[in-house]
Amino acid sequence: MEQNREQLKKLLEFLDEIVKDKDNYWFLEELRNRYGSGNSIAKDISSIRKALNIRGKNSINYEYITDIALKNQLLVDNLRMENYALNYESKNETERLYYFCLNAFFQLENILNFYYYIKYPDLNNFLSYAEISTKSDKYPFVRTGSEQNISEVPVSVKIRCFCLDFFPYNEETNDFTFKNLSELREIRNEGLHRCNIIKNDPENKLHDFFKYQNFNTIRALLKKVSDKIEANICNRQEATITQILASAIIIVYENEEKDCINTNPNGYKVGDKVLVEIDSSGKRKIINRK
């Protein structure tokens, strides 16, 4: 029975690799049609967890991802990531952290591709944006002319552009997001064997990664990027409640603009921080409390 479980795990890993290629999405849909009762792998997560002794739970729900196949892949990678964090049967801490980072990186790469695909439907516009954004870098991005889609642009370029826009490093911000994401990419490239060596080599530039990073910091790093993408795609703004009415609440945004949201006021109080989502038609709704 244990041998069968190991074989099934390897099969799932093989299927994960297959569905990462968008040309194979038809295969994923065929699997759903034959063996699934719904459109989302998320519905079967409890069964998968029980069958394969998966202990973790999704730490990011990716509700803002509109591509169903991509969302399902992200949920699976996130679940696998969290399972490594809780796999206490493994005595090799470096191995657990490496595979945690590997699955975190898979998610990072996919959500960056999704974000830039949404923001730049025209590939040439994205290529121009990347060239302009990195022109002052030591190794600026220069298009080759062979790029067919955003996924073919090196992920290092997308990480750089994203951090320049949202997490720039300077003496005031002291923001190390770019450094941390770049090291996460390098850890993926090094492989488990090399990481075991790097951890014990103080002279290696990635040695400090294993000294200062852990499951919690990597999880927070990934969520930081995901939250920023979600906020920019969905046009969400933070606000503070200033007045409670019978069937609405009065809020003030960070730019001091006031607004009235029609909603059931039960449970809210003056001073509460809320997150307001504004759709393309201008309709506003409170999606959660800060």
Same domain for 222 and 171? Answer: yes
Same domain for 197 and 263? Answer: no
Same domain for 147 and 176? Answer: yes
Determine, yes or no, domain membership for 97: no
The CA-based dihedral angle spanning residues 265, 270, 276, 282, taken in that order and rounded to the nearest 10 degrees: 70
Per-residue model confidence as pLDDT tens for the chain (290 residues): 454 566 566 667 666 666 666 666 666 666 666 665 544 555 555 555 555 555 668 899 998 898 899 999 999 999 989 988 887 666 677 788 888 988 999 999 999 999 999 889 899 999 999 999 999 999 999 999 999 999 999 999 999 999 999 998 877 778 899 999 998 998 887 776 677 777 777 777 777 887 888 889 999 999 999 999 988 887 778 899 999 998 889 999 887 888 898 888 888 999 999 888 776 556 778 876 65
Same domain for 254 and 189? Answer: no
Same domain for 62 and 81? Answer: yes
Determine, yes or no, domain membership for 161: yes
Determine, yes or no, domain membership for 47: yes
Paired residues of 237 in beta bridges: 276
Range of the domain at 258: 236-289
Same domain for 260 and 229? Answer: no
Determine, yes or no, domain membership for 51: yes
Tell me if 157 sits within 8 A of 130, measured CB to CB. yes
Determine, yes or no, domain membership for 110: no
Same domain for 151 and 71? Answer: no
Same domain for 155 and 253? Answer: no
Crossing angle of the two packed helices 2-19 and 68-85, in degrees rounded to 10: 140
State how far the alpha carbon of 288 is from the alpha carbons of 13, 272, 276, in Å. 35, 11, 8
Same domain for 210 and 256? Answer: no
pTM: 0.66
